[in-house]
Each structure stands twice: as structure tokens, then as C-alpha cells.
Chain A
């Protein structure tokens, strides 16, 4: 079936199988593999995107449910010439090791800072509690979020 949605500010179309998730559509039909497929059951957050401004696991959204809606993925944030300030903060803080969790964490951070520009440490940890990282132990990720937040 055909779906039409706005992805990173652009009108896009895709031909999807009914049971397909938004994650699969983004990665395999729309040429946007930035969102990751670490678990496909909403337990790791590596597939996180903003759907109409809200942080969601795209593996748990039917592609068909995104028809007519707005999606922002990690590819919509910065460019190689000009990283988004959250992306820069992750790089500078050493928060990127294997990086598989990174797109999801960047999106979760962007989502957090949009609602709460100066979060407390507890607010940061709770906001990121849906994103697993296996490499870093989270410390430098928290450093990155603090650096990107409004002081």
C-alpha cells in the first residue's frame, strides 16, 4: 500500500507491506537507515524518532500509521558541515563508541531539551531510560546532554 508522509521536512512516498513498521519503511524504502534495529520490540530505543514532535519507537509504529504525519529522524538534524549542537556535544564528550545507540539517544536528547531546556540530572536519566547503551555505561552520554542543555 502507498503511504505519504513528511520526513525531515520533505514530502515522501513509500510502498509498504501492511504489517511493516515505520522503522522498516524508513530504513528499507525511504533510504534513511539512521534509525536502528537493535531489538524491534520497543526495549532499546535505538529506533527512536519524533512523530508529530513526540519521541516514539518507530519499530512500534505501523508504517501505515505514519501516513499523513510528520516524522523527524536523526538524518534530519545536522549535516557533516554543520552538526546539530546535540550531535556536537555527543562527539566532544566521548559519548560515541560503537554508536549503534547514538541516533536514538540523540533523538531522545533533542526531544528532552525541546520540552525541558535545562533538565536536572534526574530528569536527564529518566528521559533517557528508554535508550539502552551497551558500550559507554552512560556517563559520557549524560555529560553530552548537560553540555547541550541550556545552562
Chain B
């Protein structure tokens, strides 16, 4: 198995165009597990650790651009913590300190698991995914990028460069239910925003449907919102929890999140 280590974005894209079956590796928190347990044997790996263009956070006018290589540890601090507090809260719940130092927002997007902790806050903020290849560049709303369970809209030669968000400045929170107090894959998760400017309630939940889902309602309809969110889920029974519990938990989380964000 060859490992290619490009030093520029262009090099990374050319390599992927030449080797569409190769897998990108950034933080490694998903890909290495598959390699270690013999679940995946791609013909080649493309190591993105040395591609500086994928790191960091910058502003493009009023838009925050988070490089796909932004780690959870960094997402708990600085401008992300100030302007995207639900994302910062979600980052704190990911894995462990070791995982947070390596795992990236881009990785969460690439893996496209409904349990990805960064995804509900990003969806609630109406994030856009910036995708590049040798053929050019395109942007997709996150809701269109996430296609199904662990399926995203990337073409074989494409790479996620960044996530773009116009911070809503709405009062927001993130909550995640797990069977113990640390290092859990969520049984269900919720990012909720009370956006007084747009007059809207927004709730994005994870682990209760094939993809992360967004539910919205007018600002005045807080009373029925918890039931609406629970009813919008399509949860299943699995080793981590039951469908009935997930629906129940979502309703409780939504109620509590509303209390926090309306206060």
C-alpha cells in the first residue's frame, strides 16, 4: 500500500485524480481504525497532514471559512468558540483529548456518519461545503452534501477544502446523549438555535436518522417544537440504543435547549 504525501493542495488533487481509488487521510481517527482492523485495504493512501492550505480559519467578508483540517481541539477555542459556540461545545464532546487533537471537521464531513458531532451545529448554521478537484471548485449546502448513512456527494477525484458559515449570532447550544460520561458515539445529539433576527427556531439532530436532519419552525412556535423535532426523527434500534429512547431523548433535549436559548 503506497502512501503519498503531497505538500500543496494542487499536488493532492492531482494525485487523487490519478488514483481515484486512493483514500485521503488527515486526522486518521476513522481511516486508521479501518486499516487496523483489516476492514479496508485501499490501493493507496494520500496523507494530507502537510497541506497547509487545509488548516486554519479565515474570514471571507462576513463568512467564516474553516479549513477542513481544523482539529476539534482548535475548534474549541478562538474565533470558532466566539462565533460558533455550539460547534465549540460539540467539539468538547468528541472522543477524548487525544482524538480532539487529531480529528478534523473535514473528517467528520468526509465520513458523513449521522453520529458526526460537528454536523448538527454546522447544519443548524446553514453551512456550505467547499469542494475542489483538478476540474475546479464547487459549493454544496451541507444538507445536500450528506446523502445517506456514511455517504457523501463527493466525486472520486474531489476533496473537501473547507466549510463556509455566515455566523447567525443566534443563541445556540449543543447536547449529546451517551451511555457514559466521556468518549461516546452519540445515542442522539442536538444543536438548537433560537434566531431572533430571522424569527426562526432551528434544531439539527444526529444519530436519529440516516443523516443529520434540520427541523425549523417560526420563533413563536416553541410549545410544539420538542414534539415536532422528535416526530421528525427516523431512529432505529442498534447496539447503542433503541428507536423509542432516541425519540424520547430528542424531545427532552429540545425542551431543555429551548429553555437555555430563550433565557
Contacts and interface: CB of A to CB of B under 8 A. Distances in A.
Note whether A and B contact each other (Cβ less than 8 A). yes
A21 B37 CA distance: 11
Interface stretch (B9-17, B23-31, B217-225): B23-31
A45 interface: yes
Contact of A42 (B35, B44, B95): B95
B32 A64 contact: no
Given A1-B2, A21-B36, A41-B37, A62 B97 contact: no
Contacts of A57: 98-99, 102
Interface string B76-100: 0000000000000000000111110
A49 to B, nearest CB: 9
A130 interface: yes
A122 to B, nearest CB: 12
B239 interface: no
B5 A60 contact: no
A120 B39 CA distance: 41
Nearest to A111: B97
A129 B36 contact: no
A40 to B, nearest CB: 4
Given A40-B37, A60-B29, A18 B97 contact: no
A75 interface: no
Nearest to B25: A62
Contact of A45 (B37, B45, B47, B96): B96
B234 interface: no
B11 to A, nearest CB: 15
Nearest to B38: A19
A22 to B, nearest CB: 9
A42 to B, nearest CB: 6
